[in-house]
Amino acid sequence: MSLEDRLKARIREAGPITVADYMAACLHDPIDGYYATRPRLGADGDFVTAPMISQMFGEFLGLWAVAVWRGLGAPERFRLVEVGPGDGTLMQDALRAAALDPAFLQAAELVLVEPSPPLRELQAERLADGPLRPRWLASLDGLGADLPLILLANEVLDCLPARQFVRVGEGWAERRVGVDEADALVFGLTPAPDVPPAFRAEPGELMEVSPAQAEFARRLAALIVEASGAALLIDYGRARPEPGDTLQALRNHQKVPPLLDPGHADLTVWADFPTVLATAAAEGAGVTEILTQGQFLRRLGVEARAHALIAANPDREAVLRRQLARLIEPDGMGELFKAAAVMSPPELIPPGFAGAAR
């Protein structure tokens, strides 16, 4: 039975499901989920990410990790962690840049947090000739706090599902996925007694609440507070609470209706940076300001790096300029994508950020 048929059977049996439950099934159902069975990353697939656009992205994240390690006093052993490493390109580029500081690599134990079996295989191939042998975990759960942590997560929060609530009169209704008389999956509204926290919204406006993103932030911050270290989170998302339906399905680089062919498209929602950082701060971690990806990469020196690459490869100037623009300009990923960090001790200011925000 297809995932669509199983979801319909579940809905007929128990009623409409939340958008978060629908998203989780589409991404991680063990038989038919997108990441569990058929993730298609890259130019020939469904979507590309920053490290696939330019090697500079992963290189700067590698140098960021080295600077954080130095800021921690260059501990003899530490854990370098990437959550959701995709096809492994980011970590491959990060390790190549980090090799500028051999002591960093010598001190590092590499852990990849990846629930997707096919992506683990891709990562193993991509990193096979690299300087560090990775160990894999399916979630943050198995990650110990016995060593300092330096963690990178690019486009991972957006895979963590959100529930959707619509302002109706004085109250709220939850947007859920049901089945109509023609046997099609449809969105509908159900009363929402577990109303989301106070949020100013006009009737008809939709807000998203992601318990999964908040729980991820809580676990991450708890680990960092206990172990010391820093986590860099980059994703497309909001920098302040605001209404809007951001559920999006991508297939062959095109937006498709999110209820079409469950499990066959990448399904995302925006990262809710204000909630993620507030949750981390409540665990006792330091958190930074929220920058746009353009601001963050510029502060790290991406433009100077691009000009150096152009000087060394004049025949590739047009390509390199295009790549740089996609990373940092507002009509590329420069503004929609945000960057923020969580750290402990809170005085540890990671490169690119001006200081702790609270």
Q: Which residues bind ligand SAM (CB under 6 A)?
A: 35, 49, 51, 83-86, 90, 113-116, 119, 139, 154-156, 159-160
Beta bridge partners of 229: 149, 344
Rank residues 154 and 288 by Cβ distance to ligand SAM and give the closer one.
154
Rank residues 12 and 255 by Cβ distance to ligand SAM and give the closer one.
255
To the nearest whole angstrom, how small is the minimum distance from the Cβ of residue 133 to ligand SAM?
19
Lookup result for tokens 């046997």: 183
Residue 276: CB atoms within 10 Å: 27
Q: Is the four-CA dihedral 200, 205, 211, 214 of positive or negative sign?
A: negative
Among the listed residues 133, 135, 266, 156, the one whose alpha carbon sits nearest the alpha carbon of residue 219: 156
**Distance, CA of 78 to CA of 223 (rounded, Å):** 13
Rank residues 217 and 356 by Cβ distance to ligand SAM and give the closer one.
217
Rank residues 156 and 166 by Cβ distance to ligand SAM and give the closer one.
156
Among the listed residues 268, 280, 284, 269, the one whose alpha carbon sits nearest the alpha carbon of residue 340: 280
Lookup result for tokens 């577990």: 194
To the nearest whole angstrom, how small is the minimum distance from the Cβ of residue 6 to ligand SAM?
20
HEC assignment per residue over 70-83: HHCCCCCCEEEEEE
To the nearest whole angstrom, how small is the minimum distance from the Cβ of residue 140 to ligand SAM?
8
Rank residues 68 and 157 by Cβ distance to ligand SAM and give the closer one.
157
**Distance, CA of 358 to CA of 274 (rounded, Å):** 12
Rank residues 18 and 348 by Cβ distance to ligand SAM and give the closer one.
18
Residue 302: CB atoms within 10 Å: 21
Helix %, strand %, coil % for the chain, to 5? Answer: 40, 25, 35
To the nearest whole angstrom, how small is the minimum distance from the Cβ of residue 312 to ligand SAM?
25
Among the listed residues 244, 338, 253, 256, the one whose alpha carbon sits nearest the alpha carbon of residue 26: 256
To the nearest whole angstrom, how small is the minimum distance from the Cβ of residue 146 to ligand SAM?
21
Token couple for 16: 């409409």
Token couple for 53: 């656009």
**Distance, CA of 276 to CA of 279 (rounded, Å):** 5
To the nearest whole angstrom, how small is the minimum distance from the Cβ of residue 113 to ligand SAM?
5
Rank residues 85 and 263 by Cβ distance to ligand SAM and give the closer one.
85
Q: Are 143 and 111 in contact (CB under 8 A)?
A: yes
Query: In this structure, which amino acid lies at residue 347?
Result: E
Rank residues 17 and 23 by Cβ distance to ligand SAM and give the closer one.
23
To the nearest whole angstrom, how small is the minimum distance from the Cβ of residue 55 to ligand SAM?
12
To the nearest whole angstrom, how small is the minimum distance from the Cβ of residue 268 to ligand SAM?
7
